[in-house]
Homo-oligomer: A and B are copies of this chain.
Amino acid sequence: MVSPVTPSSGVLAPLGLDSVRISPGFWADRDARVVIDHAWEWAERVGWIGNFRGEPRRGREFSDSEIYKLLEAMAWSGHHGFDELAQTVARAQEADGYLNTKWSGDRYADFEWGHELYCYGHLIQAGVARLRAHGEDTLTEVVRRAADHVCARFMDSGEVCGHPEIEMALVELYRATGTERYLEMARRFVERRGRPALADIELGREYFQDDVPVRQAESLRGHAVRAVYLACAQVDLAVETGDKELLRATEAQWEHALARRTYITGGIGSRHAGEAFGEDFELPPDRAYVETCAGVGSVMLAHRLLLATGDVCYADHAERVLYNVIAASPAADLRTFFYSNPLQVRTPGEVVDGVNPRAESALRAPWFSVSCCPNNLARTFASLAAYVATHDDGGVQVHHLTPAEIRHNGLTLRVETGYPWSGGVTVRVVESAGGPSRIALRVPRWADGARLDGRRVAPGYAQVEGEWQAGDEIRLDLPVEPRWTRPDPRIDAVRGCVAVERGPLVYCAEAVGDDPPLLEIEVDTSGNPVEIDSGRELEVAAHRHAAVDAAWPYGMGEQAREGEDAGSLRLMPYHRWGNRGPATMRVWLPEIPPPPLG
């Protein structure tokens, strides 16, 4: 099966790229090939491909992994560049399987920061992708040799990599090849963590999830990308080894993080320092780090948990992240990217030419000195069809309501929808081999009042069982009216504020050029937001309360303010912000206190 994740057991089984094709619409507009071409050009320009040719070493210690992410994206999408790039990588491999352009002369000297095993992880994922999408070839052989080298070197050592990644890759290589030592190596890497296996760095061992053993951790914590990559491996291992305790521990960590450490966009990472989760309810909108790659990892983790448990909450969350983190990172032309996805920007960015060394994210950049986001987006877009639907013995589940063609077990379905802009979804049976089967469509948690073929259905999976024939149709109608959303009062950073959502989309206010400052706006929530342009934009009533500048900003009594009726404030989907030039932006809008009751 052509899918990044193929568990041998679980409540749901994936449908891969060979079963699902995304049709023109929201996600087809995010064309992996555009991002791949862009990233390939940049990787060459900055010398990260040249490193494999023995040119003077350029880039950070983990730059090899960017080439592997790019190879994985090329593998999923059948990109013409794959062979050439794979050959370049293959030629850099040493006789014993070792492969790293940075550390060749000084192997395994720095497990905290060296990223050697992390790089193998991405190499292995690229090889697995190629094996599944195409079959055995050069890269498969490179990957086997590298993995065998890793097993020989690390099976009985106590070492782990500061950046988790190889663990889930080895499980997948085991799934793809049946070689059990890869699973055992993954298991040992996961279980070694937190006993501890790494040095006590200034950011603390929590940074790389080496503070407590994986079964004892109560939440996702530390560096957000590392945390979700490790959790992916935990699920993969738990599924392959039948380890219910580990699966339950991972679910609990996810649940804790979701309830207390996740932004309304689905983004994670509250701190720039350590690119890390914060403490419970530490969710500042302005200093939100919300790395794009942490969003990629969240979708990977949610998908694994969905397959293992069948719980709709994971698909709900994957959708939130896809629309409000993954879709927000690239510009409309897919050639510049946000590294970080904050929920408030107070100062417009400066226009950046070329590489942006900093994850400031007031403006998108075409490339970064740590340029994981473009390549991670490329492999996500290239494999996105594998996240759309699953199957079980009874039939097919459609988790993501996007135009698509889905084939399984003699049944071919065509999903037609204008979602997320409109809420109508039609599933048309194109072919059927006959026999009874169930078609289940996900009804998102916010979709109170959804109807399936006219009858009211609750959030969860709306199912129809039938003996399908070509031409049959199912019609799901989701209410995508805009709604006000208020935060848990323990999230101090957005007290007194409200957000606007519509369907799966979070909205924001953006100010460009001479627009009135967003720092001084307050919205009137007594009415509902009004749709403009078929919901692509919204309008809410607002007042502008200009604060009077004072020499000292803490006064006795109320601070002096000058108010005026601002009429209306225009909102756009968060994923579309920052496409009109340097801008300020905010998702959380200060609310005019509502009139007293009674």
> Which residues of A are interface residues toward B (Cβ below 8 A)?
200, 202-204, 255, 258-260, 262, 264, 271-273, 278-282, 284-287, 313, 344, 346-347, 357-358, 369, 445-446, 483-497, 499, 519-520, 545, 547, 549-559, 561, 590, 593, 595-596
Contacts and interface: CB of A to CB of B under 8 A. Distances in A.
Nearest to A260: B553
B259 A556 contact: no
Nearest to A445: B552
Given A202-B357, A358-B204, A596-B596, A488 B279 contact: no
B357 A487 contact: no
- Copies, count: 2
B554 A486 contact: yes
Contact of A547 (B287, B488, B493): B488
A520 B280 CA distance: 13
A153 to B, nearest CB: 30
B557 A258 contact: no
A323 to B, nearest CB: 15
What does DSSP make chain A's interface, helix, strand, loop or mixed?
loop
A202 B358 contact: yes
Nearest to A520: B490
A259 B497 contact: no
A595 B598 CA distance: 13
Contact of A282 (B200, B286, B489, B593): B286
27 contacts: A200-B357, A255-B551, A259-B550, A260-B553, A273-B273, A278-B287, A279-B347, A281-B519, A282-B286, A282-B346, A285-B492, A313-B551, A446-B556, A483-B556, A485-B556, A486-B556, A486-B559, A487-B554, A487-B559, A488-B550, A489-B545, A489-B547, A489-B561, A489-B590, A491-B553, A493-B493, A496-B496
A497 B446 CA distance: 31
A516 to B, nearest CB: 13
Contacts of A281: 346, 519, 553
B495 A590 contact: yes
Contacts of A286: 279, 282, 284, 492-493
A469 B201 CA distance: 64
Contacts of A520: 489-490
Contacts of A496: 495-496
A186 to B, nearest CB: 30
A558 B547 CA distance: 27
A259 B287 CA distance: 20
A486 B272 CA distance: 28
B259 A549 contact: yes
A593 B593 contact: yes
